[in-house]
Structure 1
């Protein structure tokens, strides 16, 4: 058993729930949770271990599903999602404009997108060029001349699409950073 499950250390789960990942997985194996749905596992944890709270019930369920091969990396309940972020040495206004402006965006993003909603210097909701998946983009000021873009691309159909789009976004955000720093 790894010291981490779903990105959470064994020490953290032990400190917050009183049990290690291995202990949680033994409990779930004991109820034959590999034959249960995500919702049923989380509900069982909420019912039988209410003291851990709903967030930990969900986290333990997802970690168990991944450890037992019931859920792929980046998989949500019925689709896939990936995230990416970059911190760039420019103000948040300049970063937001590089995404919001079609002309500036053409310098780093080679996909046709539809911006559904934008809150200046805060967030943007985008429909991706495939018309089916979407991207939630958040902007964070990290000082006068430093900001972060963090995005989640969701509603991806499968693990291969998720892996490909994860690479795509890493490269696209590198292009964005290069564009803004030249």
Structure 2
């Protein structure tokens, strides 16, 4: 998952990252709250810069760690109208969801990759695997290639796996909201399937 998608993971249905990450929490990790970062970036002329330029400036000049630099950059872009919630810096619309499951990483990836298992929890919708790394990740076309999903696994210990799913190339904000709701429901179904003896 890209570092920009890491910032996307902090977002939830329709809420700006500034609503997810408090100014106090941001100050504790970066030394400044949202208003201070926004004033500093405004003074630097960030509204005329690209996402990559802003994030690089935060890392190189202000020593902000990568994930937090992405969060500050996305928060700034949302607050200054440079992007909407669910929209990437390239203008692509994307949704991301995650779910903790008690299963092996191999079983999770198999549940996506194996047609017979997948049909038990995910309605067929033009699903076609593009890449697969056993027990690690998978990418697939969705809706006959109109959009794409990426699945990434993080092992949390004690038999728990965090399943992160990104759905990209969505047409608009409404599709982002619908995708989030759909994948939350489907990942809950996956969890039930994998955790039922």
> Which residue of 127, 134, 148 maps to 2:162?
148
1:126 aligns with 2:140: yes
Residue of structure 2 in register with 1:97 after alignment: 110
Corresponding position: 1:82 with 2:113: no
Quote the offset at 1:151 in angstroms: 1.2
Shift of the alpha carbon at 1:39? 4.3
Q: 2:127 aligns with which of 106, 113, 119?
A: 113
Q: Which residue of 2 aligns with 1:23?
A: 36
3-state SS of 1:107 partner: coil
Structure 2 distance, partners of 1:81, 1:104, is 26
Deviation at 1:53, TM superposition (A): 4.9
Larger-gyration structure (1/2): 1
Q: In 1, Cα distance between the equivalents of 2:97 and 2:49?
A: 29
SS of alignment partner, residue 74 of structure 2: helix
- The alignment yields a C-alpha RMSD, in angstroms, of 2.9
CA–CA separation in structure 1 for the residues paired with 2:168 and 2:154: 20
Question: In the alignment, which residue of structure 1 is the partner of 2:57?
Answer: 46
Aligned length: 176
Moved more, 5-14 or 103-112: 5-14
In structure 2, the gaps of 5 or more residues are 1-16
TM-score, normalised to structure 1, is 0.79
1:5 equivalent in alignment to 2:29: no
Unaligned runs of 5+ in 1: none
Note if contact 1:137-1:149 (Cα within 8 Å) is conserved in structure 2. Answer: yes
The verdict on how the C-alpha distance between 1:179 and 1:22 changes in structure 2, with shifts beyond 3 A counting, is same
Closer/same/farther in 2, CA of residues 170 and 27 from structure 1, 3 Å limit: same
